[in-house]
Each structure stands twice: as structure tokens, then as C-alpha cells.
């Protein structure tokens, strides 16, 4: 189901469209006929101000009708082409940072009804490795952004201790000796973990951690106190699809698999992606609520593919921006 803004925009466009068509094809021609009738009755000897008054539309009608072209353009762009989103959390660091404003390509996964999100014309499907916006399966009013890790048929194994993925893709039904999942996992080309430029900082009385680069950490004079816990973070490359991307892990922490979504018939931390569903994960692996916890995402929940950062503000969760990161503007992979 669409969000509140999408519903309001659709209704506003529809209402102004009704007034625009009535004004253009009914009310305006009627006023013009009245003006012509007055001109004929007076043999053309009538004050121009009188004719202007006779032909003048009602102010509220003119205003509503004039909004339609603008709303229509916004409606088409936002519903079918591109929609802006803001990154509010650190689950996709360092691919996406808190304060990034991104453009989401709406038509990547089909042209959809802007209210029901039903696919009207299929244009493609999410691919492994893409960064996508989708509706949280159990809270569809929430938009989340994660990376596509598993596509239909994949067997996903998350190695909790190593913080790595094993992905066994399903072989094609036409392939010789196809028995479901392939016997060998994909080569995700993991690089060796190394120290990153990030610090994970937990402050007392705050639910979500802050994430600082080493420069920010030094500039802001952050020190360990009884109300502050600072953790180092490691970075390594992982390859899903055609392009490698960076993932972050927090040193000295480990996810608790007892909280993971448990798929019937599968051991813990193992999932087989059903048809029409996808497995999504954040690049900041120890700070991401994703498919490990809420399960598979139906294709009907997808909003679009994240393709570019068009603005980026230097900020932390629930804080005011302190600057603009112009260097962040560009494409996403």
C-alpha cells in the first residue's frame, strides 16, 4: 500500500485534473459565449472592464485548475520515474550514510499503481547485489533500504562467527542433473578484513549508535566515559552480482542467532528464498535489521532501485546537519 504522501498526491492530482478539464472544456467556453452575447447586445459598444468582469473565472476555480499541470508532472515523475528518499540510519554504511538523499528509480522493477503498488507493466526484477527500497514485510508503512543478497531459489547461509555469507544459487531447471541448489556456493571474493575509518559510538540513554569517521571522532573530542562506549569497525569487500562493495563489521561483537527468522525445515541462520521473494541485508552487517530478522521480502513490496545520491548532509541520527558532503553526490553501487 502506498504511503500517506503518495495517496495525498494522487488525490490532489485527480481533484485538480477535474477542475482543469471543467475549466478548459466547459466553464471557459461558457464565459466566452456570455462575453460574445454581451458584445452583440451592445453592438460592440461596451466597456472592456465590463467584458473582463463577465469573462472572469472564479478565483478558487482558477487556482485549483492552475495547480494541475505542476501536480501532474510531479505525480508522473514520483510515481513512475524517480522518487527521493532520505537515509535516516547507518545500516548501509559505508555505501550510504546517514544524511544522504537518494534517487530511487521506480520503473526498474515494473511500472506500478501508485496506490496499491501493483505491477501494471513488468520491466524487470531485483538482481543480486542491487541496492533497493522496499516496504518492511510486517510494517508496510515503513520504507527500508538494503542490498539484495538472495533471489528466488537461493540457499543463504550466514556464518555468524565469520560474519560471511554462503550463497548456493538454484540451478536452472533446463540444466543437466539439476537437483535444486547447486552443490558449490558462489565465490563472493571476500577480501581480508582490515581496520576501517569508522567508529561505532554508543551513548547512554540513546537506542541507536552514532557512526563517526576517525577525523570526526578526533575533531569532536569524543572520549570514553561512563556514558560512552566506542567500538572499532572493520571493512572488507564482498562481491554480489557484477560489482564489489564494502561491508562493515564491528570488532568484538557478534549477532545473536536466536533472534534470527527461523524458516521451517531449515537450521538456524540458513534460509531458502521462496519464489517471488528476496533476501535483503544491510552493508553495515552488525547494525542492520534485515531479512535475518524479519524474513523474506515479497517482490510486491519493492519500491525501486537506488541509483544515485543527489545531496548529502553531514549528520547523525536525530540530529541537525552540520555541513554538506558534496563529494558524496553521484551513483550508487
Catalytic residue set: 91, 146
> How many angstroms separate the CA atoms of 203 and 207, rounded?
8
Cβ neighbours of residue 64 closer than 8 Å, sequence gap 6 or more:
15, 16, 19, 20
**What cell was used for 204?**
547512554
Comparing CA positions, the residue from 40, 108, 107, 33 lying closest to residue 76 is 107
> In DSSP terms, which residues pair with 61 in a beta bridge?
none
- The C-alpha atoms of residue 2 and residue 119 are separated, in whole angstroms, by 13
Task: Tell me the sheet residues that pair with 170.
Answer: 181
Q: Which three cell numbers stand for residue 108?
A: 526498474
Q: How far apart are CA 185 and CA 166, in angstroms?
A: 6
* Residue owning grid cell 567500538: 231
C-alpha Rg value of the chain to the nearest Å: 27
32: Cβ–Cβ under 8 A, 6 or more apart, which residues? 55
Q: Which whole-number Å values give the CA distances from 188 to 94, 137, 164, 166, 194, in the listed order?
A: 18, 27, 9, 8, 17
Q: Could you tell me the CA-to-CA distances from 311 to 5, 143, 211, 226 in Å, in that order? A: 21, 19, 19, 36
CA distance 8 to 2: 10
Look at the block and give the residue holding cell 571522532.
217
**Any idea which residue has 492530482 for its cell?**
13
Rounded CA-CA distance 38/41 in Å is 5
Amino acid at each position: 500500500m502506498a504511503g500517506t504522501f503518495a495517496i495525498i498526491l494522487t488525490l490532489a492530482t485527480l481533484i485538480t485534473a477535474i477542475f482543469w478539464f471543467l475549466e478548459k472544456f466547459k466553464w471557459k467556453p461558457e464565459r466566452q459565449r456570455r462575453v460574445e452575447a454581451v458584445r452583440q447586445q451592445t453592438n460592440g459598444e461596451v466597456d472592456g472592464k465590463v467584458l473582463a468582469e463577465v469573462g472572469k473565472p472564479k478565483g478558487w476555480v482558477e487556482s485549483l485548475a492552475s495547480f494541475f499541470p505542476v501536480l501532474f508532472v510531479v505525480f508522473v515523475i514520483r510515481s513512475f520515474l524517480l522518487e527521493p528518499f532520505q537515509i535516516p540510519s547507518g545500516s548501509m554504511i559505508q555505501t550510504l550514510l546517514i544524511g544522504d538523499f537518494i534517487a530511487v528509480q521506480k520503473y526498474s522493477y515494473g511500472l506500478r499503481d501508485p496506490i496499491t503498488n501493483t505491477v501494471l507493466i513488468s520491466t524487470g526484477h531485483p538482481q543480486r547485489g542491487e541496492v533497493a527500497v522496499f516496504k518492511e514485510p510486517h510494517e508496510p508503512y515503513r520504507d527500508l533500504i538494503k542490498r539484495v543478497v538472495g533471489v528466488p531459489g537461493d540457499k543463504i547461509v550466514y556464518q555468524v562467527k565469520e560474519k560471511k555469507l554462503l550463497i548456493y544459487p538454484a540451478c536452472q531447471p533446463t540444466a543437466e542433473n539439476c537437483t535444486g541448489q547447486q552443490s558449490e556456493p558462489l565465490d563472493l571474493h571476500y577480501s581480508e578484513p582490515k581496520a576501517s575509518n569508522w567508529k561505532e559510538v554508543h551513548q547512554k540513554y540513546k537506542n541507536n549508535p552514532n557512526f563517526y569517521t576517525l577525523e570526526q571522532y578526533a575533531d569532536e573530542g569524543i572520549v570514553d566515559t561512563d556514558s560512552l562506549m566506542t567500538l572499532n569497525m572493520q571493512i572488507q569487500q564482498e562481491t554480489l552480482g557484477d560489482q564489489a562493495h564494502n561491508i562493515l563489521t564491528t570488532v568484538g561483537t557478534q549477532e545473536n542467532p536466536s533472534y534470527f527468522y527461523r524458516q521451517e525445515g531449515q537450521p538456524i541462520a540458513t534460509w531458502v528464498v521462496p519464489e517471488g521473494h528476496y533476501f535483503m541485508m544491510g552493508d553495515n552487517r552488525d547494525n542492520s535489521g534485515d531479512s535475518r530478522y524479519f524474513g523474506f521480502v515479497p517482490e510486491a513490496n519493492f519500491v525501486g532501485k537506488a541509483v544515485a545520491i543527489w545531496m548529502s548532509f553531514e549528520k547523525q541520527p536525530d540530529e541537525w546537519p552540520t555541513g554538506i558532503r558534496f563529494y558524496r553526490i553521484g551513483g550508487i553501487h
